[in-house]
Amino acid sequence: MKNLFKISLLSCVILISSCSKDNDPEPIACELTATPTTYAFTNADGVNTVAFTGQIARLQKAKEVYDMMNADLTVTTADIDALIDDANSKLITKTAENDPNRAAVIATLNSIMETYAASSANFENEVTAENGVAGFGPANYQLDANGWEPDQQYAKMLIGALCLEQNAYDYLTKIDLANNNIAPDGDNAYTKSEHYWDEAFGYVYGLDSDLGETADISGGLLLGKYLTKHDGIGNDYSGEDLLGNSYNAYLMGRQAIVDNCQEELDRNIEILNVNLSKVVAFHAADYLRSSASLALDATSKFHHSISEGWGFVFSLQFTKMADGMPLFTHAEVMDMISTLEENGAYGLRSVEGAATLNAMADQIDAAVAASK
Most confidently modeled range among 82-86, 158-162, 234-238: 158-162
pLDDT for residue 21 = 36
Query: What pLDDT, in 10s, does the model give residues 176-202?
Result: 999 999 999 999 999 999 999 999 999
Residue 133's DSSP bridge partners are 130
Query: What pLDDT, in 10s, does the model give residues 42-90?
Result: 999 999 999 999 999 999 999 999 999 999 999 999 999 899 877 778 9
CA end-to-end span of the chain: 62
Q: Can you tell me the distance from the alpha carbon of 150 to that of 147, in angstroms, rounded to the nearest whole number?
A: 9
- Dihedral (CA of 63, 168, 152, 242) sign: negative
Whose CA is closest to 154, among 208, 210, 83?
83
pLDDT of 27 above 60: no
Q: What is the mean pLDDT of the chain?
A: 92
Q: How many residues does the chain have?
A: 372
Q: What are phi and psi of 64, to 5 degrees?
A: -60, -45
- Dihedral (CA of 156, 160, 163, 164) sign: positive
Q: Can you tell me the distance from the alpha carbon of 286 to that of 199, in angstroms, rounded to the nearest whole number?
A: 29
Q: Can you tell me the distance from the alpha carbon of 312 to that of 291, in angstroms, rounded to the nearest whole number?
A: 13
Query: What pLDDT, in 10s, does the model give residues 305-350?
Result: 999 999 999 999 999 999 999 999 999 999 999 999 999 999 999 9
- Kindly give the residue spans of alpha helices, DSSP state H, lying in the chain: 2-22, 53-68, 77-84, 91-94, 102-124, 150-158, 165-166, 172-174, 192-205, 223-227, 242-258, 262-294, 302-315, 330-341, 351-370
Who contacts 2 (Cβ-Cβ below 8 Å, separation ≥6)?
Answer: none
The type of residue at 324 is G
Distances (CA, A) of 168 to 85, 176, 182, 201, 221: 25, 15, 23, 11, 19
pLDDT of 13 above 60: no
